[in-house]
Amino acid sequence: MDKEQNTSQRTAFLGTQAIFPLILKMGIPAAVAMIVNALYNIVDTMFVGHGVGPLAIAALSIVFPIQMIVSAVAQALGVGAASIVSRRLGEKREKEAASAIGTAYTAIFIVTALMIFLVMLFMKDILVFFGASESIMPYAQEYLGTIGPGFFFFAAGMAASNLVRAEGNARASMTGMIIGAVCNLILDPVFIFGLGMGVRGAALATVFSQLLTCVYLFSLYLTKKTHIPLTLGNFRIKKAILGEAAVLGAPAFIQAAGMSVLALVINKSLGHYGGDVAISIYGTTHRLLSLIIFPILGIVQGFQPIVGYNYGAKHYDRVKKALYVAVLTVFSLATFFYILVMAFPQISMSLFSSDQNFIAASARVLRVMAFFIPLAAVQITGATYFQAIGKKTESLMLGLSRQFLILIPLVLLMPFLMGVDGIWFSFPVADLVSTCITIFLLLGELKKLRIMSTPFSVEKVSGITQEGPDFANGSNS
């Protein structure tokens, strides 16, 4: 009982502190962690591009969707369990929060081990399926053969980052990611240039870096520096928790898996309409755009436990305010990066190559793909909001909309009208349409929140009778 009271006291700030500073407090460390995560692929691509060449960049682009499948599993269970953890803490049910953490980790360990086995057994067939040509294949095999066994650390570290953050410990989550990124930044040039290991060196640097991230994050549990203490008994899979985490994490899974399917479709289409050079262009522009998207994802991840905690505590006015503040924050951040991209695209692309023709072609593509990035930030926030409050249908719909329902069909159809340009223009069109859907759903949700936050009223919202919160307990702070 004392442990539960201590945990409640340590997480109570999620329901009391002013919203904007709280979102910054939770979101900035998460944003830094996400930027650091993006740097893994960006740094690899930069050193590989200058040290090996465009075909090696294309190989990294071929392997990327395979990495995203692993990420999809880790994100689904990690983010889904994080939603449960933050809401259970708001409801003062700390034992269930601990069970959610243990269930997520155990499931990720089992699934990742199976995925590594399959990737290593059918490597060449998998690479052919994902679009590797004969000229790209040697580089792709060398990279995947080295990085594949390290998928275990990749998945475990990603899940741990989400779950540690869900307890309100955003700084520790950020620190774990920074440790790995700094290691990767140091080891990449050592392995690629110093030891002459080329693509294999980039993969080894990434594996060692992700291992260090895991060691740090899991050491927090061993040294009892987390808010929720875990015991061996927590590491048993509970079907009810696993089912709820899987459903709530479905949007995150769809987003990451959608990136994998999308990369597969794009690589195949680019290979047909533009060849290996077009695949290399996508590899560089996509990685650079991740530097815009990942900070936004970080702010949104910091926003998630705030919304989940206050929704669980029935502080609906704080939920509304958190949503408004988060949308304004990510839109402003995305607009800032958008201006930089539009103003200096060639400088950005010169990070990856010294070939002027390649830089010019990539800069044009970068401007097209980034055209509606500020709207995409709003869409990401809306999808995360519904996930944080446990609205399965809405979160699943928004998770499906941009990549599966809109972007992939556009990538397949628009090249018939515009050639390879049709692939590039599919991105801003998908951002615009999916954001319109998100805004429509958010407006309906805001109406429900206004009803539920009315003092002393009883209203039926979504078929469930909800009582307005007690404002005397700080719900409007």
Task: Please give the Cα distance from 420 to 424 (Å, whole number).
Answer: 7
Write down the pLDDT at residue 37: 66
**pLDDT grade, residue 59 (50/70/90)?**
confident
Distance in angstroms (rounded) separating the CA atoms of residues 87 and 23: 17
CA distance 358 to 463: 56
Token match 């050491």: residue? Answer: 219
CA pair distance 236, 451, nearest whole angstrom: 40
Question: If you write DSSP's letter for every residue of 227-284 in order, what string do you get?
Answer: SS---GGGGS--HHHHHHHHHHTHHHHHHHHHHHHHHHHHHHHHHHHTHHHHHHHHHH
Name the β-bridge partners of 465: 460
**pLDDT tops 60 at residue 94:** yes
Query: For 302-406, where are the E strands, in sequence order?
Result: none
The C-alpha atoms of residue 85 and residue 403 are separated, in whole angstroms, by 28
Name the pLDDT band for 156 (thresholds 50, 70, 90). Answer: confident
Please report which confidence band the pLDDT of residue 424 belongs to, taking 50, 70 and 90 as the band edges: very high
- Bridge partners (DSSP) of residue 460 are 465
Domain containing residue 302 = 2-473
pLDDT above 90 covers what percent of the chain? 9
pLDDT score, position 109: 86
C-alpha atoms less than 13 angstroms from C-alpha of 260 in its C-beta half-sphere: 18
- Per the model's pLDDT, the better-predicted residue between 47 and 203 turns out to be 203
Helix (H) or strand (E) holding 449: helix 420-452
Q: Cα 325 to chain center, whole Å?
A: 20
Report how far residue 259's alpha carbon sits from residue 407's, in angstroms, rounded to the nearest whole number: 10
pLDDT digits (tens, 9 = 90+) for 361-402: 888 999 999 898 899 899 989 888 888 887 877 877 887 777
Helices 198-222 and 54-90: crossing angle, nearest 10°? 10
- Judge whether 76 and 249 are in contact, CB under 8 Å: yes
Give the closest residue to 49 by CA, choosing from 284, 348, 208: 284
Structure tokens, 34: 């996400």
CA distances from 367 to 297, 298, 397, 409, 421 (A): 21, 23, 28, 21, 12
Q: Mean pLDDT over residues 262-270, rounded?
A: 83
From 38, 40, 53, select the one nearest 205 (Cα to Cα).
40
Q: Using CA atoms, how far apart are residues 293 and 313, in angstroms rounded to an integer?
A: 30
Say what percent of the chain tops pLDDT 70. 86
pLDDT value at residue 230? 67
How many domains does the chain contain in total? 1
Q: Report yes or no on whether pTM surpasses 0.85.
A: no
Distances (CA, A) of 347 to 286, 288, 301, 361: 16, 12, 30, 13
Task: Kindly tell me if the per-residue pLDDT of 21 is higher than 50.
Answer: yes
| Alpha helices (H) in 12-150, listed in sequence order | 19-51, 54-90, 94-121, 123-129, 137-147
Please compute the mean of the pLDDT values over residues 282-301 and round it to a whole number: 83
Give the span between the Cα atoms of 443 and 13, in whole angstroms. 28
Give the chain's mean pLDDT.
80
Note whether 295 and 333 are within 8 A (CB): yes
Nearest 5°: the CA angle 469, 473, 474 is 90
Tens-place pLDDT, residues 316-348: 888 888 898 999 999 998 999 889 888 888 887
What distance in Å separates the CA atoms of residue 131 and residue 272, rounded to the nearest whole number?
10
**What pLDDT does 467 receive?**
42
Residue 102 has pLDDT above 90, yes or no: no
User: Using CA atoms, how far apart are residues 436 and 245, in angstroms rounded to an integer?
Assistant: 27
Query: Got the DSSP string for 314-329?
Result: T-HHHHHHHHHHHHHH
CA distance 146 to 139: 11
Alpha-carbon distances, residue 69 vs 10, 148, 155, 198 (angstroms): 35, 12, 10, 25
Is 206:231 a contact under the CB 8 Å cutoff?
Answer: no
Greater pLDDT, 51 or 397: 397
- Kindly tell me if the per-residue pLDDT of 53 is higher than 90: no
Radius of gyration of the chain (CA): 22
Tokens 């870096």 belong to which residue? 209
Both tokens of 117, joined, read 């086995």
Name the pLDDT band for 458 (thresholds 50, 70, 90). very low
